[in-house]
Structure 1
Amino acid sequence: MLLYLKALHIIFIVTWFSGMFYIVRLFIYNAEAAQKTGVEREVLQKQYEIMIKRLWFGITWPSAVLTLIFGPLVMYTFGYFSPVPGWLWIKLAFVLLLYCYHYSLHLIYRQQMRGLFSISSQKLRVWNEVATIFLVAIVMLVVVKQNMSWAWGLGGLLLFVVLLMSAIKIYKSIRDKK
C-alpha cells in the first residue's frame, strides 16, 4: 500500500508540473494572439481560451490538489512526521513556494480570461522557467537528501538559473533577428 501512495503522489506531481509548463505556453500564445487583428485574433483567442480552461481546470488544478493530498499521506506512511528530516523541511519550503507560483498562474489565467494582457509574452517566457527551477531544486533534494552539500547545492541551483536565463536571452535575440 505504501508504494502505491508514493506512486500516486509522483504521478500527480508529474501531471501538475506538465500542466504548469504548458499553461504558460498557452498564455504566451494567447497574449501574442491578442496583438493580431480581426478574424485571426478572434479565432485564435477563442481556441486558446478553450484549451487554457480545459488544461487549467481539467489537469493542473486537480493534480495540484491531489499532490497536496498524497504528499502528507506519503509523509505519514513513511514516518517522516517524527522527526521531520532537515532536507524535507527545505523541500516543503520549495513546495510552498511552488503553490505560490501556481496561484500566480491562476491570477494570470483570470486576467487573460477577462481579456487583459498586462504581461508581455517575453516576461511570460521567463516566468515559465520558474517551474523548471522548482522542479530541479525539489528533485535534487528528494534524490540526494543528506548527501548534498549546502554550498554545492545552492551554487548548482544558482548556476542553473544563470544558464537558464542566458538561454532565454539568446533565444530572444535569435527570434528578434528573424
Structure 2
Amino acid sequence: MLFLFKSLHIVGFVAWFAGLFYLVRMFVYHREAHDEVQPKRDILTQQFKLMEWRVYKIICNPAMMLTWICGLAMIFLYGWEWFKVNSWLHIKLVLLLGLTYYHLWCKKMIVKLEKGDFSMSSHRWRLLNEVPTVFLLAIVLLAVYRNALDFAYALAGIMGFMILLMMGVRAYRKARERNPNI
C-alpha cells in the first residue's frame, strides 16, 4: 500500500508542478496579449481566460489534492515516531504549505487578469513563473537527501540557484528587447 501512495504522490506532484508552470506561463502571454491591437487582443484574452481556468481546475487542483492526500497517507503509514525524528519532512511540509499558498495566489491572479487588471508586467510574470522551480529544487533535495542534507549548504545553493534564474530571466529580457521575435 505504501508504494501505491508513493507512486501516486509522485504522479500528483509532477502534474501539480507542470500545471503551475503552464498556468503562470499563460499569465505572461495573457499580459502580452493585452498589448495587442483589436480584435486580436479580445480574441487572445478570452482564450487565455478559458485556458487558465481549465488548467487550474482540471490539472492544478486535482494534482495538488492527490499530492497532499498521498503524502499524508504515507506519513500515517510510516507512523508518528518516524515523523517525529525526520526533521527534513517538517521542512518539506512547510515548503508544501508555501507552494499551496502560491497555488491559491495563482487563482487570485486568474480573477485579477479576468477583471482586466494588467498592472503587472510580463517580465514580472516571468520572474514569478520561476517560483515553483525553487520550491521543486528544495523539496526534491529534501526528499532525496533527507536528514543527511546540510541545511546551510542547501539554503546557500538554493539562493545561488535563484540568483542564476533571475540572471537568466534578465538576459532573456534584454535579448528580447533586441529581437522581439525570440
- For structure 2, which runs of at least 5 residues remain unmatched after alignment? none
Secondary structure of the structure 1 residue equivalent to 2:47: helix
Q: Decide which moves more: 133-142 or 156-165.
A: 156-165
What is the TM-score normalised by the length of structure 2?
A: 0.93
The reply on whether 1:22 has 2:22 as its aligned counterpart is yes
Q: Decide which moves more: 127-136 or 107-116.
A: 107-116
Q: Decide which moves more: 161-170 or 109-118.
A: 109-118
What is the TM-score normalised by the length of structure 1?
A: 0.95
Give the drift of 1:158. 1.1
Secondary structure of the structure 1 residue equivalent to 2:48: helix
Instruction: Report how many residues are paired.
Output: 177
Give the drift of 1:23. 0.2
Distance 2:103 2:54 in 1: 16
Aligned to 1:32: 32
One-letter identity of the residue aligned with 2:42: E
Distance 1:68 1:117 in 2: 32
The reply on whether 1:137 has 2:170 as its aligned counterpart is no
RMSD over aligned Cα atoms: 1.1
1:108-137 deviation digits (Å, cap 9, x = unpaired):
011112222221111000000010000000
The 8 Å contact of residues 49 and 110 in structure 2, kept in 1 or not, is answered as no
Give the drift of 1:11. 0.6
The reply on whether 1:160 has 2:157 as its aligned counterpart is no
1:1-178 pair list within 5 angstroms:
1-79=1-79, 81-82=80-81, 83-84=83-84, 85-178=86-179
